[in-house]
Amino acid sequence: MSQVAALQAHFDLVAERMLDLPVYNPLLAVETVGFRDFSGRELGVLVTPWCMNLMLLPATADAWSDWDEQRVGEKQMIALPSGQYEFIFGWAEALGGYCSCSLFSPMSEFESQDVAVETAQEVMKALFDGDNEAPTNRQRAQRDQLEQERSAQNVDPADAEPVAIPESAAHKPKPEKLSRRGFLTAGFARHSEADARPKIGGRSS
């Protein structure tokens, strides 16, 4: 079974246990949307009747592919063309480890599965569009300072080290009416001022 199929099967079972909860939207179903290769990993959107999450499934070379339930809740930063996003590690016995980034929760504003899937498809398009990047003021200042230092030292930008990635909680707006892609350009996963390098990546030597 593929990772994406295992993800679908696991959350189908979870959905059966969520049926009677207030956050469960009976108009929706579990569906995996737009999964694609991302640096050897599977990246896509998971739609459920109670939430919509961006999901990242590990490559075998990832150190976190060996993590277990004791690491659940650990936060990781992922760089996408549209910016840096905070993911949270999750684990299930039938699936193994995965990372998720919340897009919508609860799902009460979605009136049909078609609308939810269309939204998920727009998310995947927007995430890989660099025009949607919305850095914080601190990030802009850091980039400007770095460029000035490189210019003063005559450093070729192609040879320079990457800037440290800020890490913080994701912030997504809660619109009064559902916007199928506006939440991305509004910065649903912008982060704040604390600096840290990303933890997700290849295994350390």
Is residue 113 classed exposed, middle or buried when 0-12, 13-18 and 19+ CB atoms within 10 A define those classes? Answer: middle
pLDDT at res. 152: 74
Rounded-to-integer distance, Cα 100 and Cα 91, Å = 10
- Output the CA–CA distances (angstroms, integers) from residue 22 to 26, 49, 61, in the order listed: 10, 11, 40
Rounded-to-integer distance, Cα 131 and Cα 81, Å = 9
CATH number of 3-132+163-185: 3.30.1460.40
1-32, pLDDT tens digit by residue?
799 999 999 999 999 999 999 999 999 999 99
Higher-confidence residue of 151 and 45: namely: 45
**Structure tokens that stand for 10 in this block:** 């696991």
Type of residue found at 4 = V
89-125, pLDDT tens digit by residue?
999 998 999 999 999 999 999 999 999 999 999 999 9
Which is nearest to 164 in space by CA: 188, 199, 205? Answer: 199
Domain parsing of the chain, residue ranges: 3-132+163-185
**Phi and psi for 92 in degrees, rounded to 5?**
-140, 145
Rounded-to-integer distance, Cα 62 and Cα 84, Å = 18
55-89, pLDDT tens digit by residue?
999 998 888 888 899 999 999 888 888 888 999 99
Type of residue found at 96 = G
Rounded-to-integer distance, Cα 152 and Cα 124, Å = 39
**Under a CB-based contact definition with an 8 Å cutoff, are residues 103 and 53 in contact?**
yes
Strand-pair category, 83-92 with 31-38: unpaired
**Structure tokens that stand for 110 in this block:** 């979605």
Rounded-to-integer distance, Cα 62 and Cα 14, Å = 26
